[in-house]
């Protein structure tokens, strides 16, 4: 029996204890300080999940389109955005297949979204499609785990407890392919569920080559969501690129 994907209904991602509103605001504050988006500009959120970045940006007056291959995530995002004056348009679609006549001032690809697509060709298709949908001078922002940091610091076991459930995580890393595998076992009084998450991690050279191969120019690398240039001790890479 195939283990369900992590982003199906009931995913612990929907109640992840680390994805707080404060964290989301900090991330958006940083990104908006680094990319030139006009007031009420159009932003594409690739792999939007349950909409935390899209919704925060919509509250700040931007026009959002969020795409995600998980129907459960899109349904959650639509529920969370109900009542907003200008809610994001959430679309259930793979980013590689998403088609629209709209053009965007920025495209976000955050929180391992790029790595969820494991094949190199699919990665190029995702970035290439996003680049095609950007206005001239539009920005493409990526956040991915830093491969060297993951190799040295991966937690092979972790447990998150809430009053309603216990989530046990087992992780492994394939150094040859640069793939992290996480198996989640979620136990509640009512049931026990297992789900699977696999994603690729990158180093700066791999990420830069991928981006340049799609015709984008790399502007800067940062050590996460802080105004600090990337270094080898950073757990994540935040990269800003743009169309020519």
Question: What secondary structure letter does DSSP report for 55?
Answer: H
Helices (H), the chain: 21-34, 52-59, 71-81, 113-116, 120-132, 147-153, 204-213
pLDDT for 80-135, tens place per residue?
A: 999 999 999 999 999 999 999 999 999 999 998 998 876 666 788 999 999 999 99
CA distance 200 to 211: 15
pLDDT in tens, the chain (244 residues): 456 677 877 776 777 777 899 999 999 999 999 999 999 999 999 999 999 999 999 999 999 999 999 999 999 999 999 999 999 999 999 999 999 999 999 999 999 899 887 666 678 899 999 999 999 999 999 999 999 999 999 999 999 888 888 889 999 999 999 999 999 998 988 889 898 999 999 999 999 999 999 999 999 999 999 999 999 999 999 999 999 8
Query: At residue 115, what are phi and psi to the nearest 5 degrees?
Result: -70, -20
The DSSP code sequence of 118-140 is -SHHHHHHHHHHHHHTEEEEEEE
pLDDT for 31-42, tens place per residue?
A: 999 999 999 999
- The token pair at 109 is 């690809």
CA distance 121 to 148: 23
CA distance 66 to 112: 16
Instruction: Using CB atoms within 10 Å of the CB of residue 124, give its burial: 0 to 12 exposed, 13 to 18 middle, 19+ buried.
Output: middle
Query: At residue 163, what are phi and psi to the nearest 5 degrees?
Result: -60, -25
């Amino acid at each position: 029996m195939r283990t369900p994907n992590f982003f199906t209904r009931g995913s612990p991602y929907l109640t992840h204890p680390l994805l707080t509103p404060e964290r989301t605001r900090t991330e958006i504050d940083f990104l908006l300080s680094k990319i030139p988006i006009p007031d009420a500009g159009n932003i594409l959120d690739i792999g939007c999940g349950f909409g935390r970045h899209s919704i925060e940006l919509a509250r700040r007056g931007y026009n959002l389109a969020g795409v995600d291959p998980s129907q459960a995530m899109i349904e959650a995002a639509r529920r969370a955005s109900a009542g907003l004056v200008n809610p994001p348009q959430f679309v259930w679609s793979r980013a590689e297949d998403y088609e629209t006549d709209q053009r965007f001032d920025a495209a976000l690809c955050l929180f391992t979204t790029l790595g969820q697509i494991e094949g190199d060709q699919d990665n190029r298709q995702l970035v290439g499609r996003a680049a095609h949908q950007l206005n001239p001078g539009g920005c493409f922002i990526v956040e991915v785990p830093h491969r060297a940091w993951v190799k040295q610091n991966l937690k092979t076991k972790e447990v998150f407890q809430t009053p309603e459930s216990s989530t046990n995580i087992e992780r492994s890393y394939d150094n040859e392919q640069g793939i992290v595998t996480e198996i989640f076992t979620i136990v509640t009084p009512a049931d026990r569920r297992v789900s699977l998450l696999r994603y690729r991690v990158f180093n700066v050279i791999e990420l830069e080559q991928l981006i340049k191969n799609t015709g984008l120019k790399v502007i800067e690398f940062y050590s996460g969501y802080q105004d600090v240039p990337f270094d080898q001790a950073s757990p994540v890479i935040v990269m800003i690129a743009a169309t020519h």
